[in-house]
Amino acid sequence: MREPLAVSAYRDLVRLALAEDVGPGDVTSCAIVPERRQAEGVLVAKSSLVLAGLEVAQEVFAALDANVVWDPVRRDGDRCEPGDRVAVIRGQARALLTAERTALNLLQMLSGIATITRTFVEAAAPVQVLDTRKIVPGMRALAKYAVACGGGRNHRAGLYDAVLIKDNHIRVAGGIGEAVRRARAAGAPAPIEVETQSLDQVDDAVRAGADIIMLDNLDDETTTLAIARVAGRAKIELSGNMTLDRVRRLASSGADYVSVGALTHSAPAADISLEIDL
């Protein structure tokens, strides 16, 4: 069950995006559209996609027309096919035209994340698909929400809510065992996860009592050996170069999780259009 999207996650972003795009005013719409003209717009899916970000798109239109009527036809998390109506918007024609690109940019981006996530979730089952922190700054809450809409799970929200001991931490601490010991001694929140890049490091992480062991950039054969060595003593997360084909191959490996950076840093935008009529 995904958490509802808080307005605070996107309201300031919407204002910033509109200020960037509209500036002192939409000169084209103001020049050719009468001020009181009303219009109806229909958001339409142009490709197969999974929706995410409808509330964000609604906020864009409402920011320019406080009386806009938003009538959603579908919900976030729904799969849509080409030609499906997503939402109907009624309000000032100028506002609809001015808001169009900003609303579509956000809706297409978030739906793109949800769509690629759903594809990975279906390929990886029963392994759970996780996102990463590889996200454009300022977009994290929205991107992670979109991952959840696609059926993925959110990894840590930031550096503050979970321990992930990575390669540079290990070097600074002098080894995996010492890094885990220091984390536990400091009262760090559980679970404690350790990134490993070799079978020797996997053994070290098991001995140190890591709760989750990340197998980072190991080939398929080494991944299989590592999972056998762990033998259920820790959860296993696969990471690094996790293409769709590779995720399919490793779905029956016995891993618990697979983290995929591409969900949030390389997702193609979903194709959605706004069709406006008087």
The residues carrying an active-site annotation are: 101, 134, 166, 195, 216
Whether the bond between 191 and the residue before it is cis, its omega within 30 degrees of 0, is yes
Cβ neighbours for 24, distance < 8 A, ≥ 6 positions apart: none
What DSSP designation does 9 have?
A: G
Instruction: Check if the beta carbon of residue 13 is closer than 8 Å to that of residue 138.
Output: yes
HSE toward the beta carbon, residue 83, CA cutoff 13 A: 0
| CA gap 41, 59 in Å, rounded | 15
Q: How large is the greatest C-alpha to C-alpha distance in the chain, in angstroms?
A: 73
